[in-house]
Structure 1
Amino acid sequence: MARRIVRTAGQLAILSLLAFVLVALLDSRYRVLPNSIHNRLPQHHDQQIITDIEIASCLKLLSGCKKEAPWYRIEKDLYLEEHWIHHAFVHVVRKHEKELLDGEPVVLDIKISRTQPESEKEGEEWERKGAGMWVLKGKLRHNVVTAVDVLFGPDAEDPRLDWKLKENSLRIGKEARLSVRIGTPDSASETHKKPKLRIGKTGKFKIIQIADLHLSTGVGECRDEWPVIKGMKCEADPRTLDFVSRILDDEKPDLAVLTGDQVNGETSPDSQTPLFKMADMLIKRGIPYATIYGNHDDEGSLKRQELMSLTETLPLSLSEPGPETVPGVGNYVLQIMSHKAANHPAATLYFLDTHSYSPDEKKYPGYNWIKPEQIAWFQEEHEHLKSGIKEYSGIHLQMAFIHIPLPEYLHRNMIVGEWREGVTAPRYNTNFSKALIDAGVGVVTCGHDHANDYCSLEKQNEQPQLWMCYGGGAGFGGYGGYNHYVRRVRLFEIDAPAGRISTWKRRESDDIGKLDEQVIVDGGNVKET
């Protein structure tokens, strides 16, 4: 009996080992594992050092374009899968420091240049690697290359700590650019510390809502450009980011909320590139940011969970995936703490995923809706937070952020702003607006319908209960149209001592400052403007 148990245990161990090896091999080629597991495999370990790098090009029909071990392939085709005949991939060799042979050269730096760069130290030499890539090799020292990544386009950015995007594109592929990490991450950069949100000394806190950036891999193409700048080709992403950056510099918000469709999925064969451009704009200015997703974000190379996993690791990001038991990705809560009462929240912000397209197109055509499980989660979160709110001596304020408008946006009561297009709310109503009203939330704001930028008042028994606002479309990569629509963003200002929330918009062109400024909550009560 004992011998049979030992034999069975041995067979199970062998089968488990074979299964692990098979999955690892499949993952190395087809990426079958989720990111949470995939990134923990040995080839992704942060403590490894790059000892060599090469580019392999091959015919699609004849080869998988994968070099044998110890080479590891970075899973981004330099042609973005758009070349009919060829693939090209960057390959690297990674080793732990303890695995290096005595005096074995490692990669110290990488440059993209037509001519050989000059070596600054004796014993260090630049090697030509093809496609305009030169690699500096030498003896192990403190700052060496420990990771390599690929981004795309002349406007690419890399906001990650310790990473540097190399100048110039590789002379192969579709404007492919290398980004390298120098040095092993220390504890400060390895651990992502989320910034704390707090009411300023003036008692105020400003939020900018950036809706529908629609950024692409590369500069992108403008849709419905207005105003047209004569003699200048409209590049969507540079113009969008220049506009939003100007408003950020002017308004100096304390928090940026991106309410979906940051990534224009159909023009983003590498979604990491537009995501990084969005984040870099905010990180450079020291502005914390929170994101939710729209119906286009996950139509590119990364799905919702992958986008969130990547965003969570970036500096100043407050984005969270939310509970796995709740439908969607990006159901979470942020609190803005009081200036006077350090441990008590002056305001609570709720973020919910409105998903994408209808799961029942025949019965409810159009777009998806907030699920009952999400509403139950929202109600539980609100009840849970009540204890901390009760201890706060001031007026506690609440806001909610979504992407797709609620069906109640169709009511359009007391509109402040512009209504230029039809409200593309879901056909099925789970009555989330009632849950917001019951919880005392004063304003909910969305994106999705680019050319609508109004706030509409929802009433019950003739009493104002909830302002429902649009952010207005900010990005030139998304549609505009509708009688020369000018791109815009919305801002909210929380005045904690007064228990007040005010809002206004800023436009890309013919900017006259605050547009349609209104007070929507005053003394803690929803105000009829």
Structure 2
Amino acid sequence: MTRRIVRTGTQLGFLAFIVFLLVFFLDNRYRVLPQSIHSHLPLHHEGLVITDITVQTCSTLNPLSACMLDQSKWHRVEKDLYLNTGWVSRAYVHIKRKREEELTEKDKVIIDVRVGKLDPAMGEKTQASEKWESRPSGIWIKRSAKRHASDSKKSVTAVDVLFGPDAAEPRAGWELVGPGSLDLESGAENKHPKLSIRRGSPVKIEKPVPRIRKDGKFKIMQVSDLHLSTGVGKCRDAEPKEHNGGHCEADVRTLDFVMRLLDEEKPDLVVLSGDQVNGETAPDAQSAIYKIAAILVERKIPYAAIFGNHDDEGSLSRLAQMSLYESLPYSLSEAGPNTIEGVGNYFVEVLAPRDKHSALTLYFLDTHSYSPDKAHSKGYDWIKPNQISWFKTTAESLKDNHKHYTHIHLDMAFIHIPLPEYAIKEQDYVGSWSEGVMAPGFNTHFKDALVEEGIKAVSCGHDHANDYCALSKNGDGEPELWMCYAGGSGFGGYGGYGGYHRRLRVFEIDTNAATISTWKRLEYGDIRKRVDEQVIVNAGKVIAKQG
């Protein structure tokens, strides 16, 4: 009887373990758990203050070492400071934390942190109870022995680790700790791990409300294929090769280009249309994402992101990355409904200048990654029927709201991987067609759904050296939809194809004239010129190319 109970208990335990793994896998891939559950699993817990910080280093040669301090006292930040490249070493930041209401007079709370060399004399400039204390890897902390009402805003309440000499921190209430990076033992390439801290309570993020300007115009900048790394990254196919003496740091040059165009074009919205992260060179995808987000947050520009086929080839899944985007200031990005395939199926309503009526709807869809059925369809994945159904249902439901707007609705869509119809050579196009169209081999006819719902233009990324807009026509030869490319903007992705210069695309919607104009801007060469500027919609109708 006892053996039967033990055997049954073992079997039930094993079954529970398998179910847990299955749910964990499915949730990471398909989000089977309700969003309400995810909302109760924050990365950084509220109501806690940090009382100590240290770094634990251990050897990978010791199979018994978990590289973790006493879990009853310490919480480990789950990022190996070597980013899993250490020959024989691993290292993790550990923090002690306590709920504010549980603090006693004896507890010391961290009120400041520094990393790197620190003048010991600085300790003499503070109260005796608040001297700088040394910790491993060049960390210095200052702790307060007394608790006052004013301490709450100074107290460090969360700690994170970002990587790279170009690391940036876009989160509200957070700051990178300087002046240096954490000092690791030799034996691995220095990944420049940096501490980032938050003081006080989490800052509540309000989503921006995009709105047509008073002059009736709205400008969208589409930035695609940034291919950002953890760290400065290595340039691929940089043109011209002799630029800056041949020295090229991919992310530095990429972001300099984007920042210049943001300041010159002053867009009302930025669309990040996939492959923001170059997965294989981004062992910490969070650090890569934060670099592009930081320059948008600094300029207070709303932005919306979707994913490409490389974003989730690094350390974070699509869902985890979208959670980051959703938590950042000025982000309009959304995971979208978990009842359809993909992460990042959503829409953004741009409101009229003076009221709450929708003037423009922008649709964003996940084009996934690689073909799930390579035996029958090689290459890339396709937009799924349930995504198309969601799009059509959503578009139809929004039409009632659009009736209250007195101007013509000029709706657009953004994807990463081009539709098969992009590859029709016989159609008119404006711009450069420099490489093959890497579209899915299987066609679910999403283009037809776009036309049926009155979308005027769809724009993608993916093929870096293609930057054209192609005109789809109906059976009577009448224009029905413009299909555009952004062109690749990042030096971490391929360029090539005959002196290709990185670029991005701009759309300007004029609601008064019911027009959509578009052009491209280059990183090098005639950088002030609007390249291939054209009107693609006039008086609310898709029109043929001019000239």
TM-score by length of 1: 0.91
Tell me which residue corresponds to 1:490: 505
Tell me which residue corresponds to 2:540: 524
* One-letter amino acid matched to 1:520: I
Tell me which residue corresponds to 1:358: 371
Find out whether 1:138 has 2:154 as its counterpart: no
Q: Is the 8 A contact 1:211 1:474 kept in 2?
A: yes
Q: C-alpha displacement at 1:344, in angstroms? A: 1.3
Long gaps (5+) in structure 1:
1-11
Q: Is the 8 A contact 1:195 1:318 kept in 2?
A: yes
* One-letter amino acid matched to 2:194: R
Tell me which residue corresponds to 2:50: 50
Find out whether 1:404 has 2:421 as its counterpart: no
Find out whether 1:102 has 2:105 as its counterpart: yes
Q: Is the 8 A contact 1:43 1:72 kept in 2?
A: no
Q: C-alpha displacement at 1:130, in angstroms? A: 1.8
Q: C-alpha displacement at 1:492, in angstroms? A: 0.2
Find out whether 1:178 has 2:195 as its counterpart: yes
**Aligned in 2, Cα 1:356/1:176: closer, same or farther, shift over 3 Å?**
same
Tell me which residue corresponds to 1:515: 531
Q: Is the 8 A contact 2:505 2:520 kept in 1?
A: yes
**Aligned in 2, Cα 1:245/1:44: closer, same or farther, shift over 3 Å?**
closer
What is the DSSP-based 3-state SS (H/G/I as helix, E as strand, rest coil) of the residue aligned with 1:244? helix
Counterparts of 1:427 and 1:39, CA distance in 2: 37
Tell me which residue corresponds to 1:66: 68
Q: C-alpha displacement at 1:137, in angstroms? A: 1.2
Counterparts of 1:493 and 1:136, CA distance in 2: 51
- Post-superposition Cα deviations, 1:95-124, rounded to whole Å, max 9, x if no partner, equal 001222223111111101223451343120
What is the DSSP-based 3-state SS (H/G/I as helix, E as strand, rest coil) of the residue aligned with 2:411? strand
Q: C-alpha displacement at 1:433, in angstroms? A: 0.5
Q: C-alpha displacement at 1:207, in angstroms? A: 0.2
**Aligned in 2, Cα 1:39/1:459: closer, same or farther, shift over 3 Å?**
closer
Counterparts of 2:42 and 2:403, CA distance in 1: 49
Find out whether 1:459 has 2:467 as its counterpart: no
* One-letter amino acid matched to 2:343: V
Counterparts of 2:254 and 2:54, CA distance in 1: 35
Long gaps (5+) in structure 2:
1-8, 185-189
Aligned partner of 1:271 among 285, 291, 316 = 285
**Aligned in 2, Cα 1:205/1:107: closer, same or farther, shift over 3 Å?**
same
What is the DSSP-based 3-state SS (H/G/I as helix, E as strand, rest coil) of the residue aligned with 1:231? helix
Q: Is the 8 A contact 1:116 1:134 kept in 2?
A: no
Q: Is the 8 A contact 1:116 1:128 kept in 2?
A: no
* One-letter amino acid matched to 2:192: E
What is the DSSP-based 3-state SS (H/G/I as helix, E as strand, rest coil) of the residue aligned with 2:401? helix
Percent identity over paired residues: 54
- Post-superposition Cα deviations, 1:458-511, rounded to whole Å, max 9, x if no partner, equal 001200000000000000000000011100000000000111100000000111
What is the DSSP-based 3-state SS (H/G/I as helix, E as strand, rest coil) of the residue aligned with 1:131? helix
What is the DSSP-based 3-state SS (H/G/I as helix, E as strand, rest coil) of the residue aligned with 1:159? coil
- Post-superposition Cα deviations, 1:175-216, rounded to whole Å, max 9, x if no partner, equal 11000011122xxx22x2111111101110000000000000
Aligned partner of 2:131 among 109, 112, 125 = 125
* One-letter amino acid matched to 2:224: A
Q: Is the 8 A contact 1:263 1:275 kept in 2?
A: yes
**Aligned in 2, Cα 1:259/1:178: closer, same or farther, shift over 3 Å?**
same
Counterparts of 1:276 and 1:57, CA distance in 2: 27
Tell me which residue corresponds to 1:161: 172
Aligned partner of 2:492 among 469, 477, 480 = 477
Find out whether 1:439 has 2:453 as its counterpart: yes
What is the DSSP-based 3-state SS (H/G/I as helix, E as strand, rest coil) of the residue aligned with 1:54? strand
Measured on the aligned residues, the alpha-carbon RMSD in Å equals 2.3
**Aligned in 2, Cα 1:36/1:149: closer, same or farther, shift over 3 Å?**
farther
Task: Report matched runs for 1:210-249 at 5 Å.
Answer: 210-228=223-241, 229-249=243-263
Q: Is the 8 A contact 1:43 1:94 kept in 2?
A: no
